[in-house]
């Protein structure tokens, strides 16, 4: 597994095509219960370019009042669906952390969507990794250091790839520069799905 920067491990082809297709089917069932919605930036209320939902005991949300985790979908008011077994297996295999994830953020990127450099720091337990899986079109992923102005590196994440942010990279700034449309046939209408598993509270 290549180490891109200390603490960031890229695992190409973690999921084969059959496993990717099966996971997409499970995600369709999740979205039927917890629909994709458009988050908004705190204070400015500007919409994100990605749509998102969650599964697990908690879900990450963003709106004009701030970033946070909560147990209910912000639009339906219903609890988030359970995390699929294949994602729990990925957490155990890639993250090697003794306590289970509490949230899985599901981001859907259309071809024009981006994600600016940011840190995942709304969790209480930074000892736990962030485990990520990619489905669909390839993206150009950028990662830097723990300061916004640190030098960055870019690499491609394709469908089926896994990635772990842990240790020194747990609070690294990272983002998605662009989506490379047409690089995967997994999603009939194109786009990219990113799944990030997180431990929110200390065990």
CATH number of residue 144's parent domain = 2.60.120.590
Q: Is residue 97 part of a domain?
A: yes
Q: Which residue has the tokens 């998605």?
A: 176
CA distances from 18 to 8, 11, 63, 135 (A): 26, 17, 36, 12
Whether 135 is covered by a domain: the verdict is: yes
Query: Rounded to whole angstroms, how far apart are CA atoms 102 and 60?
Result: 10
How much is the pLDDT for 90? 97
Asked if residue 203 is part of any domain, the answer here is no
Run of H or E residues at 140? strand 138-143
47 assigned to some structural domain? yes
Digit-coded pLDDT (tens) for 96-130: 899 999 999 999 999 999 999 999 999 998 999 99
Task: Name the burial class of residue 141, with classes exposed (0-12), middle (13-18) and buried (19+) by CB atoms within 10 angstroms of its CB.
Answer: buried
Given this model, what pLDDT does residue 43 score? 87
pLDDT at 2: 61
State the pLDDT at residue 6: 86
Full pLDDT tens readout for the chain, 203 residues: 565 678 999 999 999 999 999 999 999 999 999 999 999 999 899 999 999 999 999 999 999 999 999 999 999 999 999 999 999 999 999 998 999 999 999 999 999 999 999 999 999 989 999 999 999 999 999 999 999 999 999 999 999 999 999 998 999 999 999 999 999 999 999 999 999 999 999 98
Report pLDDT for 3: 58
CA separation for the pair 89, 193 (Å, rounded): 18
Q: Which pLDDT value is given to residue 203?
A: 83
Residue 26: which domain range?
Answer: 3-198
pLDDT score, position 78: 98
The total domain count for the chain is: 1
Does residue 31 sit within a domain?
yes
Residue 144 in any domain: the answer is yes
What is d(CA 50, CA 29) in angstroms, rounded to the nearest whole number?
Answer: 19
Q: What is the reported pLDDT for 97?
A: 93
Q: Among 163, 162, 158, which residue's Cα sits nearest to residue 182?
A: 158
Q: What is the pLDDT of residue 113?
A: 96
The answer to the question of residue 21 being in a domain is: yes
**pTM of the entire predicted model:** 0.95
Average pLDDT over the chain, rounded to an integer: 95
Written as six digits, the tokens of 171 are 């609070």
Residue 140's pLDDT is what? 98
Instruction: Quickly count: other Cβ atoms within 10 Å of residue 78's Cβ.
Output: 11
């Amino acid at each position: 597994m290549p180490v891109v920067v200390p603490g960031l491990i890229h695992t190409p082809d973690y999921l084969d095509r059959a496993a990717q297709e099966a996971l997409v089917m499970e995600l369709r069932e999740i979205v039927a219960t917890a629909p994709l919605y458009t988050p908004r930036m705190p204070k400015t209320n500007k919409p994100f370019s990605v749509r998102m939902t969650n599964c697990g005991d908690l879900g990450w949300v963003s709106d004009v009042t701030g970033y946070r985790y909560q147990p209910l979908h912000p639009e339906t008011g219903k609890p988030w669906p359970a995390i699929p077994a294949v994602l729990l297996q990925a957490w155990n295999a890639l993250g090697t952390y003794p306590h289970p994830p509490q949230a899985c953020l599901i981001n859907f990127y259309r071809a024009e969507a981006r994600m600016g450099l940011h840190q995942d720091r709304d969790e209480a337990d930074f000892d736990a990794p962030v485990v990520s899986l990619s489905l669909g079109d390839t993206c150009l992923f950028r990662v830097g250091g723990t300061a916004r102005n640190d030098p960055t590196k870019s690499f491609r994440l394709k469908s089926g790839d896994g990635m772990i942010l842990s240790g020194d990279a747990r609070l690294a700034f990272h983002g998605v520069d662009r989506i490379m449309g047409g690089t995967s046939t997994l999603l009939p209408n194109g786009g990219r799905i990113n799944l990030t598993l997180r431990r929110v509270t200390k065990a």
